[in-house]
Amino acid sequence: MFEFRVERSVGAARAGTLSLPHGEVHTPAFMPVGTYGVVRGLSAAEVRRTGAQIVLGNTYHLHLRPGEQVVQTMGGLHRFTGWPGPMLTDSGGFQVFSLEGLRKVSEVGVEFQSHVDGSYRTLSPERVMEIQWSLGADVAMAFDHVVPGQSSHELALEGMERTLRWLDRCRLAHEEAVRRYGGPAAQTMWPIIQGGVHPTLRLRSLEGTLERGPWTGVAIGGLSVGEPKPVMQAVLELLEPGLPPNLPRYLMGVGFPADLLEGIARGVDLFDCVAATRNGRHGTAWLPTGRINVKGAPLKGSVEPLDPDCDCETCTTVSRGYLRHLFVVEDILGLRLVSIHNVRFLVRLGEQARLHILDGTFETWSREWLKRHREGSLE
């Protein structure tokens, strides 16, 4: 269990298979985000039909609503959501970053003021691991301290070192849970590398993380939080040689289509991002030639499919003109259909990358794909 097998690599890019209690994940792969136990707007069956292999949930959000005990009583996150496949829960570390202003970080943990009702909740590394154990995903993430992308050396150092100290506590708490409640096959925990945009801090975080191993996977966090894209890519290039080849690498919170290919080329195996569904709800759809505003006047009356190259439910059943109409009249179906397309788009991008890695043509294919995509985006 929790085994990762690399089937082939081309440069730094890898095609692999991750074995988890609830199934296998063929990589590279995009994981849709289902913060509250739902990939916003989509049923489990619809998510399944996008080809997604693994879905995320969020510790902080599920702790607030409905509460991890409720989920546990109802049979765990898989039964709760009707998604029988692999799942991963994020620790709430990202909320330390995104809820800035609603939280106070200390060594013990983070005091959040709930965005739901204003009540104060404290999340510590121990508490976070308990909650994630109760939720019961295949993979739990360590509780980390994410700082903004442009953070000073001082702040990034603080976040990075705290993340390492918390990692020790997370590990103990997770091992305790495994010992007390279940076999080692039930859930694994992955650490998260921090360090902002500072190379020395990133390398220290990598080193500190690995020496606390062994692990079954490693995540790279604190990217795509405001730093320029070349900086993110440089961090990936910096870390790649030091990452154990036999572990899946998960780049947290990334990304847009181009980010996936750029990440895969730099050795990343797993991605997650809310942009597919958020942009879907907001009316932006990804295309091989860039992106399109589904609400835009030019789509009025168009009988073309959203993306003629796409095999998703949306593109094979309705027209651009109808999708635009759904947004104009504000029917939820429009949000859902574009979300379905965007998720399928990223999932399929992962599938395509995998095939091209397996047959050795990844670099050429990726270059061409990015060229076409970026040229379209300039329109």
Residues engaged in binding RNA (CB under 7 A): 33, 35, 39-40, 56, 58, 61, 90-91, 93-95, 97-99, 101-102, 115, 141, 144, 146, 192, 219, 221-222, 224-225, 229, 252-256, 259, 272-275, 277-279, 281-284, 293, 295-298, 300, 328, 330, 332, 335
Shortest Cβ 290–RNA spacing (Å): 10
Q: For residue 63, give the nearest of 116, 104, 105 by alpha carbon.
A: 116
State the nearest-atom distance from the C-beta of 217 to RNA, in Å: 12
How many Cβ atoms from other residues are within 10 Å of residue 4's Cβ?
A: 21
Pick 120 or 364: Cβ nearer RNA: 120
Partners of 249 in the beta sheet? Answer: 218
Which of 90, 144, 269, 307 is catalytic? The answer is 90
Give whichever of 273 and 323 is closer to RNA, judged by the CB atom: 273
Nearest approach in angstroms of CB 299 to RNA is: 8
CB of 335 to RNA, least distance (A): 5
**Active site includes 269?**
no
Alpha-carbon torsion (217, 267, 360, 373), positive or negative: positive
Smaller CB distance to RNA: residue 153 or 179? 153
- Closest to RNA by CB, 9 vs 377, is 377
Residue 138 annotated to the active site: no
Give the span between the Cα atoms of 56 and 34, in whole angstroms: 5
* 288 backbone dihedrals φ, ψ, rounded to 5°: -60, -25
When the beta carbons of 159 and 305 are compared against RNA, the nearer one is 159
Tell me the closest approach of the beta carbon of residue 226 to RNA, in angstroms.
8
13-35: burial string, b at 16+ Cβ within 10 Å, e else? bbbbbbebbbeebebbbbbbbbb
DSSP three-state, residue 374: helix
Residue among 202, 234, 237, 204 at smallest CA distance from 221: 202
CA dihedral of 136, 141, 145, 146, whole degrees rounded to 10? -110
Whole-angstrom Cα Rg for the chain: 20
Residue of 144, 259, 272, 307 marked active site: 272
- CA gap 193, 74 in Å, rounded: 33
- Annotated catalytic sites, by residue? 90, 272
